Every structure is written in C-alpha cells, then in structure tokens.
Structure 1
C-alpha cells in the first residue's frame, strides 16, 4: 500500500491528514513528530489574563490519529535520504512514497542577549512565565516587539505581539497598575504589521498612541541586556522584554538535499511541491512559496496549503494532474482583551473592521470550532 509520511503535528500537518481522509485517500499514513499533542498557541495570549490555562490549550492527539487511521512515531527528524524517499530520525529511518514537510519554522536566536527576552510563540510555558512575572510587578518598564528574517520578509509572528501589547496594557488598567508602568513597542520596521495593510497599521499605531504606549520603530536591533533594549537608534529600559524574532527553516533542512530559499525554507510552488523533488510536498512555515508579499505562512494559510497538498497527492494517486493551487488569504483578529479588530486580506480585497467587543468573543468561538476536530 502507498506510504504517506507527514512530518510535524501542527496546523498544517493535521489538516493534511484530515484532508487526505476526507478525500478517501486509501494509504498508510505515518505522522512523525516529537509529541502527539497540539498546542493551540493563538489562545496563549489569554494565559496572562487568566482567561485560559495552559492545560486547556494542550490537546492530546491519540484519538484524532486513531480516527483518521494514522500511525504516530515519536521522533525528531535529522535528515532525508534518497531524494526524500527516506526520512532519517533519532528513532530510525522511515521510507515513504509521498512526503509532506509540515514541521514549522525555527526562531532565529542570533541576537546577542536574546536570553534576556521571552519569546511567546516558543510554547505555552512561556505564556505562563509572562503571567508569573507580570503578577509580581507593581511598576517598571515593559518592552514588546518583533522582527523578521531579513532574507524572507514574510517569516514573522507579528500578530501575537500586537495582542500581547494591548492585552497587557488592558490587564494593567483593570488591576489599577497601568500608571506605574512604561510600555514601549519596538520593531526594526518603520511601520510594523505592514502585511495587514496600510489602514490596519494606521489603526494599530493610533491605538498605541491613545493608550500612552511609546514606540521605537525603524531601528535595527543591536542586543538585549538585563533590563535594557539596545538598537542602532538608541536604547531604553525594560524590566520585562517580550520579543518575537524572525523564523527560518528547521536545522535539518540544511543537509536534506532539498532546494532552499535565501531564508532557509524549502522552495515550493503554488501546488506545494518541493522544487525538483517528486512527491515531496511542503506546507506552512517550512516552505517558501510564490505569492503576494503580505502572505502569511502559519495558521489559516498553512491550512489552505495543506488542503492543496492533500488534493494534489490524491490527484497523483488517481493518475490525474496535480494542479490544485492554494489561495493566498489572511484572516486575523487582533485581540485586546475586551475587544478586537478583524483584518481580512486577499489578492483583491483588504478589510479592517472597527474595534468591537464582538471580535473578542468570535476569537474564542473560533478556538472551540477549530479544536473540536482534535478533542
């Protein structure tokens, strides 16, 4: 029987499995990942405000894998052999007929002193640490910012940092402590969040100004020090630093033999095929795809790419032309604890909503809708 191997257990990997079975693809499917659980990081922004606990966002996947007839292998990938037909791991080698790379990206931790910053999207434990530190602070300086991969501008996690910024500001207001804090938002980009669209950036910067949040923008990062952020345009104090660096591909890709982009991701086409490698597919942060410069890679976009990859695998197995292309689409709710704004962008349309309490509730409702597949 045909062997399909999927690397990873995040959004893109799980959607690929679900879409394959929805299409009635009759093949042996193996999932290789370090853990058989999904961490729903989009809702980790609410952990510091006690609206979520980490255990609520850590979903075991054994039931999901059994339901979709997938074999789980607990292992870390170390490389590829035979042009992708063999996956090398720390638990042995695994052959395949089709390979889907959906392992996500890797944060670039080269900035000197980055150990002095907390990187929120590294996991639920980081959100818990943010909660612990905030609860102990009665005043001081907080710095929140993000950067990107200079060789792959779309490889970033800007949205969660805007959310942490506004949520922390609102949380401090609710507890009566805001007046005792200086909050600074920083980024090497002069207009951070540009892929959301010009109107969204204007709105986010105006929201910062209305809340008394300082900005330090358009200056290249130099280093972090204990209690300080240093840039080429100056430095400022920070007792708590939240920073999201840019992303690159997993380290094992460097010796995989796959074609890589300047940013370290697998070069792929609009059908999610790795360039010049038959039956090797890539979805999400691991890939470098054609598309508009505002196109994201993670979450919703990874799901769209996973659906295209599954459709094309089905086509190949059915001896049809694999011509399903993913749609470039950005859907984002920037939460502010008791309200939010909705941003939608496609190649033809860019919409930014006013700030409404409705969108805070919709973000929570979507969490329940999305995770129902895995619970």
Structure 2
C-alpha cells in the first residue's frame, strides 16, 4: 500500500488524512496538537455562547475512526532536495509522498503583543473572553477590532471572523443593557474592507454600521499598537481598552526557510492539482499554498477541504493507477460564509458570476451553531457530508 505523510492537523490536514485513507493510502498525520481547533465557531468563546472545549475535537478519535496514524510533533525543517522533513522529536523523516497543510504565519506589526486575535493561537479566544468580562464588569470602555492586509498576497487577508466577533460583542452588550456605554470601532488599512464580498454586501454592511452606531477607521496603514491605542501612519490615534486584531497571513517560518518554490508572500507555488511546482509527489493545500485565480479570491476552510480532497483523488490516479480525471481547485473558488451576528446571520456568497449577502434573522445564528455539530459528526462519518460544506 502506498504511504503518504501529511503535516498539519487543521481543517485542511484532517480532510486530507480522511480522504487519502478513502482512496486506499496508508496515512500518517503529523500535528503540533492532539486536537483540531474549529476556528469558524471560535467567535463565540469570547462572548460565552460556547465553551472552549466544545470548539476542539480530538484528533485521536478521528484517526481511530478512519484508520490513519497520528503523530504529535513539530516540523522544524523541510527539504525538497532530499525529500525529507525534520521533526522536533522524531528526527529526520524521508517523505517521497508529502502533503503540506501547516497553515500560515502572521504578518508582524510593532506592538502586536498589545493585541489579541480570534484567528491566532486558540488560547487567545479565552484571553479575549476574560478581557471582555473585565470591560463588562467595569461597565464602559472603548473597543477596537480590526484586521490587516498583505499587499504581496491579498487572498491571505481574513476579516470575516473579526466582523463576526465585533457583531457578537455588540449583541451581548445590548442584551446586558450597557451597549450605549461603549464606543465600538472597526479599523483596517484598506479603504473598503469587505469589498471582495461584492458591492451589495458592502452596502448592507455600511447600513448596519450606521444603524448600530459603529465607528469606522479605514484607509490608513497601521504604524504600531500600544497598550491603550492603535497608532496609524499619519500619527492619528484610536484609543482602545481592548484591541482585537487579525494580522494578514504569510508563509510560516519553516516554509520560508525551506527550498520550496514560493510566491512573494512565501506561500508554496502549486498547480491546479495542488502539486508543488517541480517536486514530484509533494502537494500543498490550504493556507500554506499560493492560490491562483480572480482578485476577490480568499483562503477559506471550504476551499482548503476541496484542495485536500483533490490532492487525495489526484494522488490515487497518479500513484495507485486509479481511473478518472484529475481534479483542479480553481473551478471551485468562491467566497462562502455564514456571517454570524449573535441574533442572526448574513449568508455571503461570491463567485465569478454573482455576489450576494442575504440577511437571515434568528435562523442564521442557529444554522451556524448547527454547522459546528455537523463538522464534528461528518468528520467522524456519523452523518453524510453536504457538498460545499
């Protein structure tokens, strides 16, 4: 049986491990953590809608269910010249067939230690919860949420979770009857954050900001973060008692220090079949890979899963001699998101032909909660997958 090594235990890596097994491969998944953190529903940890333990799911259980090997270790180096990876505890490992799904690092900003991110290390979601609790106990304050950009690869910008948590904090403060005591501002260096969702979505977002008395600070690059403020390139200041900031992504240190082919943002160059350029038997998927496609393209979990399934299918054709046509990821590029607001949601969809945002009061919130359960149950194979989800 053909062996494959998959590095990275996030959404992309887990999907790859499951589908490589389905295709008949012997699989080893190497992850830094023994659980998968379900980032799309982590937005509710800081507002106490959900507990941290409900946002993690045991990789041991998934591995046992699907019959792949799980190794908890850290990748320290990757060499395409020798077809090896170096592990912190496991030493050097030969990998003739490798899938890289180790995600991305973050663009650094001076003073970033004064911020917390809902898309950062999982424990930051708990720190955000505690900071919000402190502000609620105080009864007033200034809250600044935002995200950054990466001019070398705009697809690595992740603003959706920032907006979702922003709306959920507003909803919680409103339920407590103290919303009027808080100044809430959203900031971003681009002139129209969220523009990739399309003009209709952008217009509805503007109306929502006006109706809920949100402030916006757009179009100015971030100079630095201080403990109690954000300083912009023109030295203007946004005062803040709590700063939540999602930096844009770039290639991780281990990828930047490798001999892999990289784009200007240090993401791995691949072809449409997720094969790494010039390296036979090696694939890259999810946030680690450089996406090609329309200007509005974005790195999202469902695209990472498409890439994982395609890599498994294409590998089976190449290395197991299975019949069929190789699958490309570019035809599946779209933006798909249920943007939760605490008391409802907005369904966001965009592809080359359409761009829409459909308000879903009340039911949208429960749909997203249901998706969290769907993710866990479908990964265990207890319920069938729904295409596109």
Counterpart CA distance in 2 for 1:155 and 1:82 is 24
Q: Which residue of 2 aligns with 1:291?
A: 293
Q: Which residue of 2 aligns with 1:118?
A: 116
- Within 5 Å, give how 1:117-156 maps onto structure 2: 117-137=115-135, 138-156=139-157
1:116-163: CA deviation from partner (whole Å, max 9, x where unpaired):
111111133212111211112111111000012221111021100001
1:262-288: CA deviation from partner (whole Å, max 9, x where unpaired):
001001111111111111101110010
CA contact (8 A) 2:80 2:279 kept: no
Q: Which residue of 1 aligns with 2:10?
A: 10
Given the alignment of the two structures, is residue 228 of structure 1 paired with residue 233 of structure 2, yes or no? no
The two structures have a TM-score, normalised by structure 2, of 0.92
- Within 5 Å, give how 1:55-134 maps onto structure 2: 55-83=53-81, 85-91=83-89, 92-109=91-108, 111-134=109-132
Counterpart CA distance in 2 for 1:141 and 1:81 is 47
Pick the aligned partner of 1:350 from 344, 355, 364: 355
CA contact (8 A) 1:8 1:102 kept: yes
Given the alignment of the two structures, is residue 372 of structure 1 paired with residue 377 of structure 2, yes or no? yes
- Within 5 Å, give how 1:26-41 maps onto structure 2: 27-41=25-39
Q: Which residue of 1 aligns with 2:247?
A: 245
Which deviates more from structure 2 when the two are superposed, residues 253-262 or residues 289-298?
Answer: 289-298
Unaligned runs of 5+ in 2: 381-389
Counterpart CA distance in 1 for 2:82 and 2:51 is 39
Pick the aligned partner of 2:302 from 300, 303, 306: 300
Secondary structure in structure 1 of the residue aligned to 2:156: coil
Counterpart CA distance in 2 for 1:93 and 1:65 is 23
Deviation for aligned residue 1:193: 1.1
CA contact (8 A) 2:79 2:260 kept: no
Deviation for aligned residue 1:349: 2.5
Unaligned runs of 5+ in 1: none
Secondary structure in structure 2 of the residue aligned to 1:323: coil
Which deviates more from structure 2 when the two are superposed, residues 192-201 or residues 154-163?
Answer: 192-201
Counterpart CA distance in 2 for 1:193 and 1:290 is 20
Given the alignment of the two structures, is residue 360 of structure 1 paired with residue 361 of structure 2, yes or no? no
Secondary structure in structure 2 of the residue aligned to 1:331: strand
Secondary structure in structure 2 of the residue aligned to 1:334: strand
1:297-346: CA deviation from partner (whole Å, max 9, x where unpaired):
23111011111111111111133686310111221011110111001122
Given the alignment of the two structures, is residue 332 of structure 1 paired with residue 333 of structure 2, yes or no? no
* Counterparts in 2 of 1:30 and 1:355: CA distance versus 1, 3 Å: same
Deviation for aligned residue 1:81: 2.9
Q: Which residue of 1 aligns with 2:387?
A: none
Counterpart CA distance in 1 for 2:67 and 2:274 is 24
Deviation for aligned residue 1:5: 0.4
Deviation for aligned residue 1:67: 2.2
Q: Which residue of 1 aligns with 2:383?
A: none
Deviation for aligned residue 1:249: 1.3
Deviation for aligned residue 1:355: 4.2
Deviation for aligned residue 1:206: 1.6
Q: Which residue of 1 aligns with 2:191?
A: 190
Question: Number of aligned pairs?
Answer: 372
Deviation for aligned residue 1:22: 2.6
The two structures have a TM-score, normalised by structure 1, of 0.95
1:89-138: CA deviation from partner (whole Å, max 9, x where unpaired):
112112223110001111122x1111111111113321211121111211
Q: Once superposed, what is the RMSD of the aligned Cα atoms? A: 1.6
Secondary structure in structure 1 of the residue aligned to 2:168: helix
Q: Which residue of 1 aligns with 2:218?
A: 217
